[in-house]
A and B are shown apart, each in its own frame.
Chain A
Amino acid sequence: MKKNFGEIVFSLKEYLILTLLVIISLILLFSNDNSQIRFLRAFAIGAFGTVQSGLSAIPNIFEIEQENKYLRESNIKLSNEISTLKETKLENIRLSKLVGLKDRSNLGVVSAKIVNKSLIQTRNTITIDIGNNDSVKINMPVITDDGLVGKVVATSGNYSIVQILYNKDLKLTVKDQRSRVDGILNYDGTGNLLMTNVPKSADVKLGDVIITSEYSNNFPPGIPVGNVVEEGNLDNLFKKVVIQPVVNFKTLEEVFVLKYLPEKERAELEKIFLNTK
């Protein structure tokens, strides 16, 4: 009997191994927020990032020409903007003093180099070469001089993973800079960034600049996100607004992590209120 059982198990060993591996995979799949999994991921990101930072020293000849052109154009544009900004800054200081607004310029930034970039499918991320050792924390916003890139979702000692705008898990409150119309920005998984929850009657026009809203607790207000490139009616109630991000993710090589974290008191109050509702 015992021998027969052993023979049966041996003859089914392939299927038993398959079942075991599938069960382990499924357990891992359902415990992605587990602290041990996070630790292992942080370790793997660190090891992988070290090798990748070496590889990233090899120039990508396909992108250099395009990047050069982009930088030249950007340089001219920025020179023009500097003079305008100087005036605006002076005006801003004056007005801030008048209305007692917080000075947002004291937010620290840390520059980072992108060592890996995934622009595939629906949940896109980038890996940057700074982490816990540089005081980078989960949920910190990531920007460039153009505008918003995304937010940090995982960190190890020297590397971090950033969820970018082209990631369907990233949703943020935004507003039209001109008309102050609010909406929620999300990626639809098909290559389009959409501003949703915009009423049909709202004043949104092609070319309008979309910025982060003060209603978002995760991002400081006023960071440029994109421009409206398509607007039409979605249904009887809402508009379909398609946004072109200001950041060019294909040529992106360096970013800044903004040392800004959600206000705990505000988040807790909003959570308590929503739970008691």
Chain B
Amino acid sequence: MLINYLKYFVVLVILIFLQKSVVWLISISSYNITPDIIVIMIIYIGVKKGHIEGAIFGFIAGLILDFVSGSFVGLSALCYTISGFTAGYFHRPDDEKFLEKFNFLIVVFPVVLLCNMIYFLIFSQGVTLGFGDIFFKIILSSTTYTTLISLVFVFLPKRKETEKLA
């Protein structure tokens, strides 16, 4: 159990480094929309383990991200905590159907949308953009991009499948 949690932590730290150093290379549009690869992992933890694990790992990852970026400390922690907790609603102790193939996308889209809504509505305070622009040009496009990137996760071979192949 503890080893699993440690694995999640290490993966999250790696993803934070990737998010801060590499992900901007695949930014799109004049608004530099980038996918959020950290939230995908937090959603995975939430669905796999439940509300508490999702919220705690979300909080820790968000806090690390806040500290290493020049932005508000606490904002990413708040968004990721809520995202991890919300993903926990899709947790089924004996059935991982929401982690299977495209079902995962059904979870990712609404949770990332909620996360981005909280993040950008606070982050964009004082910007000359209207709510419509923030929603369609930033929140929705960022959510869609993150959901598309989570397809990579869908096509990653899971442990059970690799065992079966072996």
A residues within 8 Å of B by Cβ?
Answer: 13-14, 17-18, 21-22, 24-30, 32, 37, 40-41, 43-45, 47-48, 51-52, 55, 60, 62, 116-123, 125, 127, 153-154, 161, 163, 168, 188-191
Contacts and interface: CB of A to CB of B under 8 A. Distances in A.
Contact of B69 (A40, A43, A55, A125): A125
Contacts of A191: 30-31
Interface stretch (B59-67, B96-104, B107-115, B155-163): B59-67
Nearest to B32: A120
B81 A18 contact: yes
B68 A29 contact: no
Interface in B56-109: 56, 59, 62-64, 66-75, 77-78, 81-82, 85, 88
B20 interface: yes
Given A18-B85, A29-B73, A51 B55 contact: no
Contacts of A32: 72-74
| Residue among A17, A21, A52 facing the most chain B CB atoms (10 A cut-off) | A21
Contacts of A28: 63, 66, 73-74, 77
B73 A120 contact: no
Given A120-B32, A190-B128, A52 B20 contact: yes
Contact of B81 (A22, A47, A52, A122): A22
Contacts of A37: 73
Contacts of A60: 25
20 contacts: A14-B52, A14-B88, A17-B55, A18-B51, A29-B72, A29-B78, A30-B74, A51-B17, A55-B17, A118-B24, A119-B24, A121-B32, A121-B120, A121-B123, A122-B127, A125-B69, A127-B70, A189-B127, A189-B129, A191-B30
B138 interface: yes
A27 B78 CA distance: 10
Interface of B: 17, 20-21, 24-25, 27, 30-34, 50-52, 55-56, 59, 62-64, 66-75, 77-78, 81-82, 85, 88, 120, 122-124, 126-129, 133, 138
Given A17-B52, A29-B72, A119-B32, 14 more contacts: A13-B52, A18-B81, A21-B81, A29-B73, A32-B74, A37-B73, A48-B17, A51-B17, A117-B24, A120-B24, A122-B124, A123-B70, A163-B70, A190-B133
Q: 9 closest A-B pairs (Cβ-Cβ)?
A: A28-B74, A29-B74, A44-B67, A189-B127, A25-B78, A125-B70, A14-B51, A48-B68, A161-B70
Contacts of B75: 25, 29
Nearest to B59: A21
A48 B20 contact: yes
| B interface secondary structure, majority | helix
A27 B74 contact: yes
Given A26-B78, A188-B127, A118 B73 contact: no
Given A18-B55, A32-B73, A163-B70, A168 B127 contact: yes
Contacts of A26: 74, 78
A129 B51 CA distance: 39
Contacts of B85: 14, 18
Contacts of B73: 28-29, 32, 37, 40-41
A159 B78 CA distance: 26
A139 to B, nearest CB: 14
Contacts of A18: 51, 55, 81-82, 85
